[in-house]
Every structure is written in structure tokens, then in C-alpha cells.
Amino acid sequence: DTEVTQTPKHLVMGMTNKKSLKCEQHMGHRAMYWYKQKAKKPPELMFVYSYEKLSINESVPSRFSPECPNSSLLNLHLHALQPEDSALYLCASSVRTGNSPLHFGNGTRLTVT
């Protein structure tokens, strides 16, 4: 089993809904990431947190809002999403940013109706 836990596993939401994705790791990693993955495509980086501070936003629309309440938790708040935002959202962590291995969770499968 993965050491990065994501909830929920599946989420269906309407375009006017507000929902949140949650991610938790207890490996003491200080870098955490959100990725988006479409079917049969590689993961695309969305956000990077380093020591609980947002260090990278890969030009993600403001309808996605990340939050890092502490070193073990990472949230992704969703609001007014579009159907094209339907995808697998993956959380990952690493010891630090840089070339330390990424540990991915199993993702949240999001469907926007």
C-alpha cells in the first residue's frame, strides 16, 4: 500500500459545487505536490509545497486552490470546475524538492458534471 493517502478515491461534482481533496503522508517529507493526470497521459504538475509554503504554481486556474495546513497534510479546494477538469488528481511527496524520489498516492478520480 502507498504511504501517501488520498481521500476521497472518487468524487463526482457539479460545476457549481465546492469540494476538497485531501492528502496525508507521515514519512517526514517536506515537499508535497499536486499533479493532474488525464487518461493515457503522464502526470502534469500543478502545485509544489516546500516546507509548507507554496513554491510553485504551474499557471493553474484559480478554481483550484491548494492549502498545506501542516507538514503532513495537503488539500486541494475545488470550486466552479469545468467538465474538462475531470481527471485523476494525484498527490505526491518527497524528502525535499530536487531529485529525491516522488512517492505518489493512488489519486482521486474526479468527474465534473
Partner 1 sequence: QQQVKQSPQSLIVQKGGISIINCAYENTAFDYFPWYQQFPGKGPALLIAIRPDVSEKKEGRFTISFNKSAKQFSLHIMDSQPGDSATYFCAATLSNDYKLSFGAGTTVTVRA
Task: Please give the residue ranges that form the binding site for partner 1 (CB under 8 A).
Answer: 2, 4, 31, 40-43, 45, 48, 50, 55-56, 90, 92, 97-99, 101-107
Q: For residue 69, give the C-alpha cell.
A: 495546513
Q: Give me 46's grid cell.
A: 500543478
Smallest separation (angstroms) from partner 1 to the CB of 2: 6
Of 83, 88, 101, which is closest to residue 27 (Cα–Cα)? Answer: 101
Question: Which residue's CB is nearer to partner 1, number 80 or number 102?
Answer: 102
Helix (H, G, I), strand (E, B) or coil at 85: helix
Whose grid coordinates read 499533479? 35
Nearer to partner 1, 29 or 103 (CB): 103
Instruction: Kindly state the smallest distance separating residue 41's Cβ from partner 1, in Å.
Output: 7
**Closest CB 79 distance from partner 1, rounded Å:** 24
Q: Which is nearer to partner 1, 90 or 112 (CB)?
A: 90
User: Which residue reads 486541494 in cell numbers?
Assistant: 76
Least distance to partner 1 from the beta carbon of 18, Å?
25
How long is the chain? Answer: 113
Cα 43 to chain centroid distance, Å, stands at: 11
